[in-house]
């Protein structure tokens, strides 16, 4: 069976006239699916908008907290000074 014959055979089945009841049923199903995806897309946009706004509203204390998390901690700092030298 060639490509055209296969397409013609299945197109006649898929696109044949439907009864009004069946058309109404499919319209309701497709509109429910559309509402579901549109609502999720709206939620994603809102989440993205809110998360960008929070990034811009960081206080200096929050920024220093982030730098502590992102930068590795210093384990030992050699200054050459000790407590006795600072007292004198």
Of residues 68 and 82, more confidence is placed in 82
38: pLDDT confidence band, cut at 50, 70 and 90? very high
Domain boundaries, the chain: 18-47
Q: Is the pTM of this model over 0.85?
A: no
Beta strands in 1-88 (DSSP E): none
Cβ partners under 8 Å of residue 1, min gap 6: 9
pLDDT score at 39 = 96
**pLDDT of residue 63 exceeding 90:** no
């Amino acid at each position: 069976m060639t490509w055209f014959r296969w397409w013609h055979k299945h197109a006649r089945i898929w696109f044949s006239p439907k009864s009004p009841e069946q058309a109404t049923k499919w319209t309701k199903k497709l509109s429910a699916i559309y509402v579901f995806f549109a609502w999720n897309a709206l939620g994603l946009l809102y989440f993205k908008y809110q998360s960008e706004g929070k990034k811009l509203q960081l206080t200096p204390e929050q920024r220093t907290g982030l730098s502590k998390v992102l930068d590795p901690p210093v384990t030992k700092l050699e200054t050459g000074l000790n407590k006795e030298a600072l007292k004198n």
